[in-house]
Structure 1
Amino acid sequence: MELSMNLVIKIAIFSLLASPLVACSQVKKESSQKPNIIFIMADDLGWTDLSSPNTSLGNGSKYYETPNIDKLADQGKSFAYAYAQQNCQPTRASLITGQYATGNQNGVYNVGSLKRASKGVITAIKPHTQNNYLKEDCISMFKTLKSVGYHTAWFGKLHAIKTEEHASTYLGVDYNLALRKETNATVNGVKVKHEFFAQNDDNKGWVFNHDLLKPYAQPYDSAYIHNVLEPLKNGNDPWQLEGTPKHLTDALGDAVIDYIKDRSIKDAPFFAYIPFHAVHVSILPRPDLEAKYTSKIPQDPRHNRADYAAFVELLDQTVGRILNALEDPNGDGDTKDGIAKNTLVIFYSDNGGFMGPTDNRPLRLRKGTFYEGGIRVPLIFRYPGVIHPNTVNKTQEVHAIDFYPTLAEIAGAKLPNPKIHEVNGKSVMPVLKEETDALDDKNELFWHFPGYMDVRNMPQSVIHYRHSNNQHYKLFYRYEDESYELYNINNDISETTNLLSGSPNQEILDVALIMNNKLREWLIKNNAPTGTWTKHQEIVPYPLKDGINKYKN
């Protein structure tokens, strides 16, 4: 009896001593667990193209329907002042490198080249010759996340790199499904190119333009419609699709979901970069969704194209499928294996909407310009337990260059040595965690364009500056005629009133002078190229330090 009691006491003492150690060990394990990261990027989705009011200060579409992305916004934090570059390739280059194009940075200013003046137009400036692709020695965001144990993946649009292989060989992508939207196939002995839909190649069967997508290229059958499309239907009839070719957006969603299922049972965290081709022209949506909008009466004076609305909702349904896969990776209905709580999801667009298919009002103009309609985009972050749900930040400006340092901080990774690879962006984690509404040392954004792009862009530099009382201003400087434009974005979201026209008061001149000098200093510091004058071959100068003085009375 005495021996038994001593044994009980020893067991009790051991339990008391051991329990805190076990608890501490569990806490340490949980706190050190790195989050998975999913970065979803739409192509050409405008600021007003979502139906959520969170991402556009209440200016969302009343015709397009995006219930799944809206739900993501309800569960996360949206940024009202989110920006990109003016078109696809430079945004992607900035995202992957954390750099502007200027000087010794990534060097990608435009899609194709800076020599895209409209035919027959005589240009005053000989444009700078840009890099069309990222340098092989760049230290990409993928490499930085890999350095702390992340498995990396790319699903979707191949841009900023020359070939799909380059994503693996010098960017550090482990699972590489980078591809173009065109599918090349030989049909009845003739080579055929088609956008967005799988084709039945004579020798290969149903294909997309990437071998890893072949398992997902089969036409829609009853099982797929019942199991995959039916749960997401929203007034559309997916059974209209039975036997028709698979859409690339659906196939990419299939591949991402299988990747999530596979990685959910692995120890290493993952980073999945998902740059969809939707909703870029050509506007080729799924037929069942187009049928839905064809019969829907538009209630929004800006938006009325059924094909574009259908394309937007196809993107939305695919995003919904990815979010559902995080909740239930193996799809068995039991969410105990879910990884959503430990996954940061980001939704973003690469530039503003392309006018014609959509309308960016109240923002001015469109993709390709540095007015708000060309560069202001929707942005959502969701990270359960870290980011407060259903919140909107109306102060902090965020640009493509800021994702690299933000994700590095979340992952616990060090940024590259700035002497080797300088990251221009800044982490917005303090804002995401609501430690502050805005960063005091991050109140400027810059755009520089040393060339031409049809009627939309010409040699110019732009600064977005958050002044006192959180007033957001944009100053444009045009190199050909040394002219300026200044707008207060808070009061004039449509950029209709150039504050330097007429007789600007001293307060406006003071703001313009501050912005001009900040822009000039940035251009000089970054050795930004400006091209040469066509007539006398001299280098085009930066804006003058006192250039604003000409607007004084």
Structure 2
Amino acid sequence: MKLFSKLIIFSLSTIPLLTFSQKKAEKPNIIFIMADDLGWTDLSSPNTSLGNGSKYYESPNIDKLATQGMSLTYAYTQQNCQPTRAALLSGQYATGPQNGVYNVGSLKRASKGVVTPITPHYQNNYLKEQCVSMFETLKKVGYHTSWFGKFHAIKVGEHAESYMGVDYNLALHKETKATVKGVKVKNEFFAQKDDVKGWMFENEKLKPYAQPYDSTYIKNVLEPIKNGNDPWLLEGTPKHLTDALGDAVVDYIKDRSQKDSPFFAYIPFHAVHVTILPRLDLEAKYKAKTSKDTRHKKADYAAFVELLDQTVGRILNALEDPNGDGNKIDGIANNTLVVFYSDNGGFMGPTDNTPLRLRKGTYYEGGVRVPLIFRYPGVIKPNTINTTQEIHAIDFYPTLADIAGAKLPNSQTHELDGKSIAPVLKGEADALDDKNELFWHFPGYMDVRNMPQSVIHYRHSDNQHYKLFYRYEDESYELYNLTNDIGETTNLLENNPSHQIIELATIMNNKLRTWLLKRNAPTGTWAKNGEKVAYPKQDGIKKYCK
């Protein structure tokens, strides 16, 4: 009898495990949220920035997401918006054959009046139509795909459908152009009332969400998410684009939660990109708040960060309760992977990236290191912080495909540069031994922030992280130990470096050289004679350190 009882108890105890196993065998929904210009220290969470989060900005919803999932503290991007988005959607570095997007606009962006010794390489401004995008790969295994927000990396918003594989397209600019009293005007971030079209944003599909804030919206949408702000200050004022995009995503989640197929929602917000234009209720909150952070004091930027955070909170709440009736029985959060990321480091002026060096536009940590969170209940252990594995925008494509059970494109058609870090997310490894290098290459100019250079991030076998810069104009080098010198203050190749440092730098230099050669990476030409600029030399480190 006792044995029979034990068998029953054992059998019953295995039921939840079987149910859990079967549920996780399903393809998860995927929500990929990307902030614009949100710096590594711009969240109040300590998880994403090794305890360097803001003491002034508040991001309680994203902070909660971090406690529910895994934060990776060595998360990287390209130096600004467009190349990061191109890398993300293609899974390729800018040197990839379907990519070629190195910078926003062009590589000929030297400061006015500056004569440059190198004639920059010509770049693509958009992903090529031959690109097999992340959307297309997920569609092949049954995903419904959607795009909400900024459309950098493709030529126009419509291309999200025509060659990127997007089923529901809400790609748009932040600027809304309208005709008001017969005059054409442009507004950033807020809806406008056009003489003919009425209240509107750029994309017609966002028009249903363009009406000014009214009492019903404030009571039902903004009141439940408020955090020390008074949303009633907004009554009758124009809708903010960030809120409107949040409205559209919430409705999309409600609709897709009733379908059988999984969905992939790509949500690249325009917040917190300049011009810094937050909601006035949140700005009023921060104007009345005294900052306890010497780095962060600007009320408008703090308000913009929290507007982004509140909108993320609304999206997360919609996963818990898609129809919003208070009953979470229809929730889909447990079978949804949520990723939160930023497209590059903070833009110096509105914010401060300290202890990281410099800002957006550079390859120093302040320009390319960003917050990153993955949440997938039952798969990713909650409240975990990975301080070892590096990850770049190119790695999301194979990682999401891996989790979704999607086959990667034929390498002859579309070769990926990224690698899946799914084993790290599942807790099977702290870091992958075959993924310990990241590369950046910039064959041109970007005002005072960037010049012709190549960079390698390398994790040594002792899990120390290093970064080596090579500058083409003068064949100079910089080497930093990021583990011990997060602010990149000490160039290890200066002041008679040790034999061990020279050997390490030589290894990194030759890895960088091999990567450039393999990809036939463009370097531009010398203005004086038209000759191609050479790659770093094999003995470059030893000659530099003599």
TM interval, shorter chain, is over 0.9
1:319-338 pair list within 5 angstroms:
319-338=312-331
Please name the residue that 1:455 is paired with.
448
Q: Distance in 2 between matches of 1:255 and 1:410?
A: 26
Q: Distance in 2 between matches of 1:79 and 1:463?
A: 19
The residue type paired with residue 108 of structure 1 is V
How far the C-alpha of 1:503 sits from its partner, in A, is: 0.3
Please name the residue that 1:344 is paired with.
337
Please name the residue that 2:513 is paired with.
520
Please name the residue that 1:267 is paired with.
260
* Equivalent residue in structure 1 for 2:151, among 135, 150, 158: 158
How far the C-alpha of 1:30 sits from its partner, in A, is: 3.1
Deviation string for 1:112-142 (max 9, x for gaps)? 0000000111101000000000001100000
Please name the residue that 2:58 is paired with.
65
Please name the residue that 1:483 is paired with.
476
Please name the residue that 1:190 is paired with.
183
Q: Is the CA contact 1:504–1:551 (under 8 Å) kept in the aligned structure 2?
A: no
The residue type paired with residue 453 of structure 2 is Q
How far the C-alpha of 1:104 sits from its partner, in A, is: 2.3
Q: Is the CA contact 2:79–2:367 (under 8 Å) kept in the aligned structure 1?
A: yes
Q: Is the CA contact 1:103–1:527 (under 8 Å) kept in the aligned structure 2?
A: no
How far the C-alpha of 1:264 sits from its partner, in A, is: 0.1
SS of the residue aligned with 1:394?
strand
The residue type paired with residue 233 of structure 1 is K
Please name the residue that 1:135 is paired with.
128
- Kindly indicate whether residue 358 of structure 2 is the aligned counterpart of residue 365 of structure 1: yes
Q: Is the CA contact 1:103–1:528 (under 8 Å) kept in the aligned structure 2?
A: no
Q: Is the CA contact 2:477–2:544 (under 8 Å) kept in the aligned structure 1?
A: no
TM-score (norm 2): 0.96
How far the C-alpha of 1:218 sits from its partner, in A, is: 0.4
* Equivalent residue in structure 1 for 2:404, among 390, 400, 411: 411
1:21-32 pair list within 5 angstroms:
30-32=23-25
How far the C-alpha of 1:23 sits from its partner, in A, is: 11
* Equivalent residue in structure 2 for 1:226, among 215, 219, 222: 219
Please name the residue that 2:119 is paired with.
126
Q: Distance in 2 between matches of 1:380 and 1:490?
A: 20
Q: Is the CA contact 1:47–1:352 (under 8 Å) kept in the aligned structure 2?
A: yes
1:263-412 pair list within 5 angstroms:
263-412=256-405
The residue type paired with residue 277 of structure 1 is H
> Where do 5+ consecutive residues of structure 2 fail to align?
1-11
Please name the residue that 1:15 is paired with.
none
How far the C-alpha of 1:183 sits from its partner, in A, is: 0.5
The residue type paired with residue 276 of structure 1 is F
Q: Distance in 2 between matches of 1:229 and 1:504?
A: 57
SS of the residue aligned with 1:469?
coil
The residue type paired with residue 315 of structure 1 is L
How far the C-alpha of 1:493 sits from its partner, in A, is: 0.4
Change (3 A) 1:270 1:474: same
The residue type paired with residue 152 of structure 1 is T
How far the C-alpha of 1:38 sits from its partner, in A, is: 0.1
Q: Is the CA contact 2:218–2:235 (under 8 Å) kept in the aligned structure 1?
A: yes
Q: Is the CA contact 2:98–2:127 (under 8 Å) kept in the aligned structure 1?
A: no
Could you tell me the percent identity over the aligned residues?
78
Please name the residue that 1:76 is paired with.
69
SS of the residue aligned with 1:315?
helix
Q: Is the CA contact 2:493–2:545 (under 8 Å) kept in the aligned structure 1?
A: no
Change (3 A) 1:198 1:552: closer
Please name the residue that 1:503 is paired with.
496
Q: Is the CA contact 2:476–2:544 (under 8 Å) kept in the aligned structure 1?
A: no
Deviation string for 1:493-531 (max 9, x for gaps)? 000100001100001001100000000000000110000
How far the C-alpha of 1:29 sits from its partner, in A, is: 5.5
How far the C-alpha of 1:550 sits from its partner, in A, is: 1.7
SS of the residue aligned with 2:462?
helix
The residue type paired with residue 239 of structure 1 is W
Deviation string for 1:129-181 (max 9, x for gaps)? 00000001100000000000000000000100111110000000000000000
SS of the residue aligned with 2:47?
coil
Q: Distance in 2 between matches of 1:223 and 1:214?
A: 18
Please name the residue that 1:244 is paired with.
237
Q: Computing the radius of gyration over CA atoms, which structure comes out larger, 1 or 2?
A: 1
1:430-469 pair list within 5 angstroms:
430-469=423-462
Q: Is the CA contact 2:142–2:262 (under 8 Å) kept in the aligned structure 1?
A: yes
Q: Is the CA contact 2:98–2:131 (under 8 Å) kept in the aligned structure 1?
A: no
Please name the residue that 2:193 is paired with.
200
* Equivalent residue in structure 1 for 2:168, among 163, 166, 175: 175
Please name the residue that 2:3 is paired with.
none
Change (3 A) 1:505 1:261: same
Q: Distance in 2 between matches of 1:23 and 1:231?
A: 33
Deviation string for 1:396-420 (max 9, x for gaps)? 0000000000000011011001111
* Equivalent residue in structure 2 for 1:424, among 417, 421, 424: 417
Please name the residue that 1:530 is paired with.
523
Please name the residue that 1:548 is paired with.
541
How far the C-alpha of 1:37 sits from its partner, in A, is: 0.1
The residue type paired with residue 128 of structure 1 is H
Q: In the comparison of the two structures, how many residue pairs are matched?
A: 533
Q: Distance in 1 between matches of 2:36 and 2:543?
A: 41
Q: Distance in 1 between matches of 2:421 and 2:484?
A: 25
Please name the residue that 1:91 is paired with.
84
Q: Distance in 2 between matches of 1:53 and 1:31?
A: 29
How far the C-alpha of 1:468 sits from its partner, in A, is: 2.1
Deviation string for 1:407-434 (max 9, x for gaps)? 0001101100111100000000000011
TM-score (norm 1): 0.95
Q: Is the CA contact 1:104–1:526 (under 8 Å) kept in the aligned structure 2?
A: no
Q: Is the CA contact 2:110–2:447 (under 8 Å) kept in the aligned structure 1?
A: yes
Change (3 A) 1:418 1:189: same
Q: Is the CA contact 1:103–1:529 (under 8 Å) kept in the aligned structure 2?
A: no
The residue type paired with residue 139 of structure 2 is K
Please name the residue that 1:3 is paired with.
none
Please name the residue that 1:14 is paired with.
none
- Kindly indicate whether residue 210 of structure 2 is the aligned counterpart of residue 212 of structure 1: no
Q: Distance in 1 between matches of 2:500 and 2:387?
A: 24
The residue type paired with residue 162 of structure 1 is K
Q: Distance in 2 between matches of 1:126 and 1:75?
A: 49
Q: Distance in 2 between matches of 1:202 and 1:105?
A: 42
Q: Distance in 2 between matches of 1:24 and 1:285?
A: 46
